[in-house]
Amino acid sequence: MEKQIKLDHGSGGMASRRLVESLFLKYLKSPVLAGMQDSAVIGSVDGRMAFSTDSYVVDPIFFPGGSIGDLAVNGTVNDLAMSGAAPVCLSLSFILEEGFQLAQLEAILQDIARACGHAGLDIVTGDTKVVPRGKADKIFVNTSGIGQIPEGINISPSRIRQGDAILVSGSIANHGATILAERLGLDSNDVLTSDTCPLNHLAAAILETAPDAVHAMRDPTRGGLATALWELAESSGCCFEIEEEAIPVEPPVRAVCELTGIDPLYLANEGRCIVIAAREQASTIRELMRSVEQGSGATVIGRVTGNRAANVILSTRSGGSRLIEPLSGEPLPRIC
């Protein structure tokens, strides 16, 4: 087998088939995918369905804690989970640059297979295209996913009410700070890693225990915690008040942010979720989240109030307050 991607690998002919059979199917073992049909035939999904799609162009493609491969799987799984859906299956598509190393593609496929195993679902269909040298940057990935929303689950910003508690599942900005440190060549002594992980098991545990108490969920990816909270406040028409002191930021992340002048509230997360829930059950939900690995750092960071217009107010460590705006511009492109 060749060591690099060639234009012929994207031709749809024998080279394409050999690539799929010898490499893709080596790690992606779904019997549906193994049929190598142009579309996947899957079992029926009863009730409401969720559908999500996303593309991944992260640079660098390998980083501490993950790669573009598990990032692509986890990102789509998490988008489905935040709607209350249990992910059923994914599609996977690549755009590869001529000359891309097959050893790197194999490493990415290993990460994809491992991420699918952690999430508990299969890749059932996909596509590969190859473009000439200089027409892309190594590799771009697209994943789409289908999920099933259990009966009785209703997750929507429209359900957010005055008095609700605002929780976050763990420390923020790890992914964004890790990518930033890699690009700048900063030595983090292996203590700074991306938080990329699937959140479907955490979301399912929360919704099984307190389906009526959970009003909204969101994974704060591009734009970070600040932008995700602003979007939820805007959609719900409520005011959010959050405590700076309560927001968990790990020391290595804070160090990178202080060095670069970037607020950790605006850096991406790829394995964290915001949960907005009835105040009366906030403590129960927090402890439940902490019992699941992906939510072990869960904490309450604020509350929903109704005495102001829809916005997000941050109470600072110094005793003051400031208005949190959504991200403006692109301080860190190609974050996912």
CA–CA dist 324, 328 (Å, integer): 11
Start and end residues for every CATH 3.30.1330.10 domain found in the chain: 7-148
Mean pLDDT of the residues in the chain: 94
Start and end residues for every CATH 3.90.650.10 domain found in the chain: 157-324
For 94-148, what is each residue's pLDDT tens digit? Answer: 999 999 999 999 999 999 999 999 999 999 999 999 999 999 999 999 999 999 9
Check residue 176 and give its pLDDT.
97
Structure tokens at 295: 């939510």
CA–CA dist 271, 193 (Å, integer): 11
In the predicted structure, residue 310 carries a pLDDT above the cut 90: no
In the predicted structure, residue 312 carries a pLDDT above the cut 90: yes
In the predicted structure, residue 1 carries a pLDDT above the cut 70: no
Q: What is the mean predicted confidence (pLDDT) over 216-234?
A: 96
Top-tier CATH class for 7-148? alpha beta
Percent residues over pLDDT 90 in the chain: 88
Check residue 307 and give its pLDDT.
64
Q: What is the mean predicted confidence (pLDDT) over 169-173?
A: 98
Percent residues over pLDDT 70 in the chain: 99
CA–CA dist 32, 41 (Å, integer): 7
Q: What is the mean predicted confidence (pLDDT) over 218-246?
A: 96
Predicted confidence band of residue 188 (pLDDT cuts 50, 70, 90): low
For 23-55, what is each residue's pLDDT tens digit? Answer: 999 999 999 999 988 889 888 777 899 999 999
In the predicted structure, residue 197 carries a pLDDT above the cut 80: yes
Check residue 69 and give its pLDDT.
98
How large is the greatest C-alpha to C-alpha distance in the chain, in angstroms? 67
Where do we find the tokens 């307190």? Answer: 210
Q: Which one is the CATH code of 157-324: 3.90.950.10, 1.10.1240.10, 3.90.650.10, 3.40.50.280?
A: 3.90.650.10
Check residue 243 and give its pLDDT.
97
Where do we find the tokens 């190594």? Answer: 138
Check residue 37 and give its pLDDT.
86
Instruction: Point out the least confidently predicted range of 79-88, 262-271, 279-288, 306-315.
Output: 306-315
In the predicted structure, residue 160 carries a pLDDT above the cut 80: yes
- Residues contacting residue 245 through CB under 8 Å, at least 6 positions apart: 315, 317
Check residue 190 and give its pLDDT.
72
